[in-house]
Structure 1
Amino acid sequence: MADDPTGNAPDLTDLDDDALLAELARVLERVSAPPPEVVEAAKGLFTWRTVDAELAELTHDSLIAQRELGVRAAGQPRILTFEAGGMTVEVEVDDVPGARRLIGQLTPPGRADLELRSADDTVVGSIVGSADELGRFVLDLPAGKQRSSLRIRRGAEVTETAWVPL
């Protein structure tokens, strides 16, 4: 269906579904891709999806503490502590041959839904799990290092840890 030479839009009221879809495809073929700055702005808006989560700041990282003290502790698990409001999240990152695990404890204790997210979704994407009534949890990690954040949901309350390389 060609456009009306007078500049008026074509009458689409008499088209069946297939003809309407074909006309829509022709219109979309004429539309160019969005400008790169629009794509970047849209990606920036995507980060606002977690604006309701309270951010748990990293208050202790055994890897940094060991460097500051000049101590080398090869083979030791890495211990991370995050704090937000009245919640503390303690995490141990265990690297053993053939496996990596995140073992943690929530304080105050209680059940929670967990989601470990990767900054690069191609590496981890999202790993889900849960904390038991004592606040304990274990998440299996894929091989390799990635920048991650742990999202903790207890009912309507959502807490998210700062992003750290794991």
Structure 2
Amino acid sequence: MEKIIREADETLSALEYEFSRFDSPQINEVPFEGSWTAGQLAEHLVLSNSGFLEVINGPVTETDKPADLMVKEIRKDFLNFNVKYNSPKEIYPEDRTYNQPELLKSLKQIREGISDAITGLDLTKTCTAYELPGYGFLTRLEAIYFVIYHTQRHVHQLKNIYNELDSN
């Protein structure tokens, strides 16, 4: 339990830190062709992670598999930076001007919500509100690790965006 609390807090705090490093106007600059802006990346994570928080806090059933069965596969998929994924349209960020303080506030609320879920819920239960393509219905534990590894992937991208904009 301590491990997942630490991993979630470190990962989601790193996201907030990396995003806060940008000057406000920079979050809406395209760093290189084909890339999202830092604002779009943060919005994508707000949409994705808040959605997962709803699923984690939503309806559940008893689990008939190891609660961490998909964790290794999720980690392998999302921490392979050589593979590019397309975002589902539901969590695809709009092409608009983003407000850094608003996004940071949302990211902090999500971090706190994930922490509350880890400490207050039975993580072995299976979430039934959403079936994740390729993975099926996740346990709360797997869903939290999805948030962790998906966020780590995007923190890596955020650092690349920052370095690109900072060098120009």
TM-score calculated relative to the size of structure 2: 0.21
Higher relative contact order (CA 8 A, sep 6+): 2
Q: Which has the higher strand share?
A: 1
Q: Which has the higher helix share?
A: 2
TM-score calculated relative to the size of structure 1: 0.22
The structure with the larger Rg is 1
